[in-house]
Homo-oligomer: A and B are copies of this chain.
Amino acid sequence: MFFLKELPTRLMIEGYAAKHASLDADAVEDALGLMRRASLMVRRLEAYFAEHGLSQLRFLVLIVIDREPHRDGLSVGEITDRLDVSKPVMTRTVAHLVESGLIAVEADPNDARGKVVRLTPAGRAKLAEVLPEYFVLLSALGRREPDTGEEA
């Protein structure tokens, strides 16, 4: 998240760019603008997921499992690989999703250390409930000047 509301003016950046060679004022401006825009998008999406009892990460876990229907479930580690978060966060997130009944976890028959994570019917239903508007939201946010009602 990037919290600065008023980004540095072009002038301030160029002041720095003048003093330090190898500094591309356009790139600096892009980077700041990008982080600010993305932060607002992420907030908007988190709010949307919260309305559906999810979070961005919990949603992505469901997506990632659903995205590989040829596999009969994924291990916790495989999910972690696809979503760069730390292992403990994934442990907690999986536990949460199991409690909500959106995924089911079984012991891996081939490896007593491992677990196999699968979507439950409720999990698939939740995806179906959330996905369409998710894409609509992304579509709106992706357009320039998204006008999401943020920032006075």
What residues of chain A have their CB less than 8 Å away from a CB belonging to chain B? 1-6, 13, 16-17, 19-20, 22-32, 34-35, 37-39, 41-42, 56-57, 60, 63-64, 81-85, 131-132, 135-136, 138-143
Contacts and interface: CB of A to CB of B under 8 A. Distances in A.
Given A24-B139, A28-B135, A131-B16, A3 B39 contact: no
Query: How many copies of this chain does one complex carry?
Result: 2
B42 A142 contact: no
A13 to B, nearest CB: 7
A141 B64 CA distance: 28
A36 to B, nearest CB: 8
Contacts of A20: 132, 135-136
B3 A139 contact: no
A64 B84 CA distance: 32
Given A3-B83, A6-B82, A38-B34, A135 B56 contact: no
B140 A2 contact: no
Contacts of A42: 1-2, 35
Nearest to A150: B84
28 contacts: A1-B42, A2-B38, A2-B42, A2-B56, A3-B60, A3-B83, A4-B60, A4-B82, A4-B83, A5-B81, A6-B82, A17-B135, A19-B132, A20-B135, A20-B136, A23-B135, A23-B136, A24-B143, A27-B138, A28-B135, A28-B139, A28-B142, A29-B142, A30-B142, A31-B139, A35-B38, A35-B41, A38-B38
